[in-house]
Amino acid sequence: MRKLIVFTPGCLAPAFFWLVATTTIITSCIPGSLIPDPYVVDDSRQKKNVYYVPSAPNTPLLSNKGDINFNVLRTAAPVTNGYEFQAAYLPAKHIGIISRYSSGKDGGDYPDYMKYKSFEIGAGYVNQFYKDLHFETYAGMGKGKIANNHHTGFSNLDLTHYFIQPTIAINNAKKTVQFAFVSRFSGVNFKVIDTMFSNDREPINTAQFKILYEKPFHVFWEPGVVARFGWKQFLFHTGYSYSSDLTDSDLHRSEGIFSFGASLRLNTLKKTTTKN
């Protein structure tokens, strides 16, 4: 006696979905299959990693021997937020010394996609041509580090930079209001320390490191403006600087930086008084 087996729609449905799932798993492992690779990291996530962040221009705008200036700044860029501490001193009437320390990270929430820190020192020429017209130009060098947390790993860069920064400023007689125009040129040497992430899964970031390997030295032009207003020894500060990569504009970086904070000014020379 023979039995007739009849498959109902309810029995066919699980078998159909099992067949589709099995086929998908097998074909996704075959190179050149028509099904897209699900393991490539989304473009927007890859672009959260950046490889250069400009600094706020350190423009002390001092003019008298013995003048000293301190700036404490909050900085913000399209993909990063941070802090800067700047200092300057005039040991002679026309000679100035500057220094700066910067640190920051990406502007998003945890986890941190990138962190950076840098410092620089420099010296330059200062001249107050008229009561309301000031000129200064500083040159120097610095070091920095950028650490990126990728979706599939991490990378680290060491940076060595050289800069020259001419500045023209206008001010009132008491120098309680100042506007400065800065044109900074920086030469930055990138040294790749680690690239511990999946090249296949992050092709955009892989292309970024190809740029750095082929062109480790980049020239940046960073024009900017600075405004200060307040009192003789304490002024509010605000500024903006744009960063243009003259070597390779495809390098993923912060293209500008906004700064705001406060400036403290003192003179280290004791004032002498004449006795009648």
Q: What is the pLDDT of residues 54-91, one digit of tens each?
A: 999 899 999 999 999 999 999 998 888 999 999 999 99
What is the domain extent for residue 19? 9-38
Per-residue pLDDT at 33: 41
Query: What stretches of 112-153 adopt beta strand conformation (E)?
Result: 114-130, 133-149
Per-residue pLDDT at 23: 46
Q: What is the CA radius of gyration of the chain?
A: 28
Scanning 109-184, the segments in alpha helix (DSSP H) are none
Same domain as 214, residue 128: yes
Same domain as 27, residue 159: no
Same domain as 103, residue 61: yes
Is residue 275 one of the residues assigned to a domain?
no
Ranges of the chain with pLDDT below 50: 1-9, 11-13, 15-35, 37, 273-274, 276
Same domain as 29, residue 156: no
d(CA 198, CA 37): 14
| Domains: count for the chain | 2
Upstream peptide bond of 111 is cis (omega within 30 degrees of 0): yes
Q: Is the pTM of this model over 0.75?
A: yes
Query: Chain-wide mean pLDDT for the chain?
Result: 86
Same domain as 66, residue 23: no
- CA 18 to chain centroid, in Å, comes to 50
Per-residue pLDDT at 80: 87
Answer whether 155's CB lies under 8 Å from 184's CB. no
Per-residue pLDDT at 29: 44
Is residue 257 one of the residues assigned to a domain?
yes
Per-residue pLDDT at 28: 41
Same domain as 82, residue 18: no
Same domain as 207, residue 147: yes
Residue 211 is given by DSSP the state H
